[in-house]
Structure 1
Amino acid sequence: MDKVRFGVVGAKGIGRTHMESIVSCGNAELVAVADINEAAGKEAASKYGVKWFMDYEKMLEQKDIDAVSICTPHFLHCNMALKALEYSKNVLVEKPMAITVREADKMVEKAKTTGLKLGVVFQYRTFPVNREIKRLIDGGEIGKIYRVVMEACTFRTQAYYESDAWRGKWKTEGGGALINQTIHNIDLLQWLVGPPSKLQGQIGTMYHNVEVEDIASATIRFENGAFGILQVSIVDALDTSRLEICGEKGKIESNGEHKRAIMSKPLKECIADKKVWGGRPESQWLEIKPKTEEKGGHATVIKEYCDAIIAGKEPPVNGEEGRKSIEIINAIILSSFEEKTVTFPVDRDAYDRLMRSLSEKEMRQK
């Protein structure tokens, strides 16, 4: 195999990006699209010269499809992925891979038992500057991490939520700002810093007429001992995107500009000074420059996913990796509603009970 033949389910929105990226990749080929919206499906099929299916399962029956790209509303991701795996198709699913961590568990297990490749789209990991930050951290450039702050605050109007009936509801979107807009940032946070051991979260709905959160925060303790603060929202008309990672040898800041500072001597030596109260080490700020001109994004995700299938290897972001951000998001929501610290792994039963309760409350209010 030198090309992976794709069927895309979901012809609108992010599905368009997937189709454009597939046809731009030398190791991928678009052969079919499925969408219950006849106009959207036929338009995409005509544009790319591929077959259109209204029935997703009919598309899965096609022998000339190696992988399925899932670009549908959140609540459909799990069942569509499981069905594709049953039909012996590899699966690339848009974020979030599922609404609950238990759904993600099912997807991971199914991929393992079938021996097929489950990939999740987290294009922030492909951006060259983020890969360079990852290389610096893993290489010990800033030493042991002890503190991290991430702010991911952007803006959506009420029109955004009213554009599709599934948005803004617990049962169909699975959350708000956390699971939709800032899941990329949360994935990046745990990819760079490591897995959390426990957290306390708060969520709220401040301004939008929706069930789900439009603002959230969490204090996080990571397995490596680091302390973290996460703030997210979709009510900030003036966007804020900031990442600060502090280590015992230096610091990384990313807020539009990307830079690092390395101290002249390690933090522990500075603190141990018994003569000078406020003595700080010398440091120098340096720009973080990627070693490539590539831009990253969906095309890179798809190329690397196809590379993995062709080579018989695991995708860079497989099901286990994709599940990590879902578990953090579930933990923040569970912590907020139960008003307590949540430890990892997240209690699947407790979270499922919470989701059932929120969905039933939604139905009673209709």
Structure 2
Amino acid sequence: MVGTGVGTKHAKMYQTLPDLYEVTAVCEIDEHRRNEFVEQIGVSYQTNRLEDLFSQDLDLIDICTPSALHFSQATAALQAGFHVVLEKPVARSLSEMDELERVEQQSGKHLFPIFQYRFGHGIQKLHHLISKGLVGSPSIATAETHWLRGEAYYSRGMWRSTWDGAAGGSFATHAIHIHDLLCQVLGDPISVFAQASNCVNGYETEDLGVVLMNFGNGAMASSSVTLGSTEQMSRLRFCFASLTAEGGRDPYNPGHEPWTFSHDDPDQQTRINNELVDFSPRPERFSGQFVRIHEALAGKGQTPVTLEDARRSIELLTAAYWSVKTGEIVQLPLSSDHPFYSGWIEMMKQEFVRDKV
């Protein structure tokens, strides 16, 4: 484990799968947090330098550090001969994504991006109904990421409030999960329009915004994001030709049940209900992704989240920030000569005035 913030959650989930994983080493620059991790998880090796892990007998390195470190640390671990699990956002530009893909291929190892919400039981049911041909073509979807983040959140790591540290705000750090779920169901967006501001907390990065997306299958989606909702919730709603699917309101698990799948025709509703009676969902969230990663490494399953999936999320971020900056509707895919191909951070730093309210 590299990083002990959300990394501690990762480690605890690995420990629920003792037949598949053993957590044996930790890298953390903060001595107090490192000692806490050792006490909680019980690892035999600890260090404050990533390179020290490369001499250990490890199969996989899980990186959960601040966003600014993801690219360099993942690159180093792959080149040192380790499989890598990497928290979101995987990179801070499309150029970094393309370089990670090159390094992964050259290393012969695998990089597994984290998108644990994909494996919620509710979203699993939706994908099951899609596979059975019971949903029809999609028309429109809505996503809401309405969370509350104030001084307590930012004081635990002021990098979270800066472009340099976090590569963005509510789009890059919070809504990135629900946007991944939208694209997992609807496919690749072909155009993006976005607006954003920092009027909730007044730090450098956006904490309020909307994103409108068009997809190649004709579907449209809207996403509203705020870090100033006193009642926290996340929710997805998809309208298909043959059913409407709506998720629950759990802010940190929008793919989890309860989900509803409804149709106005009683016979069609019965078919939907009957199809779900015998459906047995697989493990969800982090443990669900880790089970699937082990299967992929053992040659018993497909890679649960690919670098291509992660690149799509970074391309969506790139397009959204360019739209915020210019007011344009952005057509996708983006080419390597796009002004934000190598990153949006420097050009976005002055977009919002730092004026705490």
Provide TM-score, normalisation by structure 1: 0.85
Q: Per-residue deviation at 1:290?
A: 8.4
What secondary structure, in the 3-state scheme, does the structure 1 residue paired with 2:24 have? strand
What secondary structure, in the 3-state scheme, does the structure 2 residue paired with 1:166 have? helix
CA-based RMSD of the aligned residues comes to 2.5
Q: 1:141 aligns with which of 123, 134, 146?
A: 134
The alignment status of 1:259 with 2:260, answered yes or no, reads yes
Deviation readout 1:273-320 (Å, 9 max, x if unpaired): xxxxxxxx9975977778337651212212221221122765211211
Please give the alpha-carbon distance, in whole angstroms, between the structure 1 residues aligned to 2:316 and 2:131.
22
Length, aligned pairs only: 339
What secondary structure, in the 3-state scheme, does the structure 2 residue paired with 1:188 have? helix
Residue in 2 that maps onto 1:346: 334
Residue in 1 that maps onto 2:36: 43
Superposition pairs for residues 100-179 of structure 1, below 5 Å? 100-179=93-172
The alignment status of 1:355 with 2:345, answered yes or no, reads yes
Letter in 2 for 1:247: F
Please give the alpha-carbon distance, in whole angstroms, between the structure 2 residues aligned to 1:24 and 1:143.
38
Task: Say whether the 8 Å CA contact 2:318–2:344 is kept in structure 1.
Answer: no
Larger Rg: 1
Please give the alpha-carbon distance, in whole angstroms, between the structure 2 residues aligned to 1:251 and 1:293.
20
Residue in 2 that maps onto 1:309: 297
Residue in 1 that maps onto 2:69: 76
Moved more, 238-247 or 223-232: 238-247
Please give the alpha-carbon distance, in whole angstroms, between the structure 1 residues aligned to 2:346 and 2:98.
18
What secondary structure, in the 3-state scheme, does the structure 2 residue paired with 1:29 have? coil
Task: Say whether the 8 Å CA contact 1:129–1:289 is kept in structure 2.
Answer: no
Q: 2:175 aligns with which of 169, 175, 182?
A: 182
The alignment status of 1:195 with 2:188, answered yes or no, reads yes
User: Which has the larger share of strand?
Assistant: 1
Residue in 1 that maps onto 2:47: 53
Please give the alpha-carbon distance, in whole angstroms, between the structure 1 residues aligned to 2:237 and 2:188.
17
Please give the alpha-carbon distance, in whole angstroms, between the structure 2 residues aligned to 1:259 and 1:162.
38
Task: Say whether the 8 Å CA contact 2:122–2:247 is kept in structure 1.
Answer: no
Q: 2:89 aligns with which of 89, 92, 96?
A: 96
Please give the alpha-carbon distance, in whole angstroms, between the structure 2 residues aligned to 1:290 and 1:106.
44
Consecutive unaligned residues of structure 1, counting only runs of 5 or more, are 1-7, 265-280
What secondary structure, in the 3-state scheme, does the structure 2 residue paired with 1:239 have? strand
Identity over aligned pairs, percent = 26
Q: Per-residue deviation at 1:323?
A: 2.1
Letter in 2 for 1:211: E
Please give the alpha-carbon distance, in whole angstroms, between the structure 1 residues aligned to 2:54 and 2:218.
46
Task: Say whether the 8 Å CA contact 1:74–1:174 is kept in structure 2.
Answer: yes
Q: Per-residue deviation at 1:43?
A: 3.2
Please give the alpha-carbon distance, in whole angstroms, between the structure 2 residues aligned to 1:293 and 1:223.
29
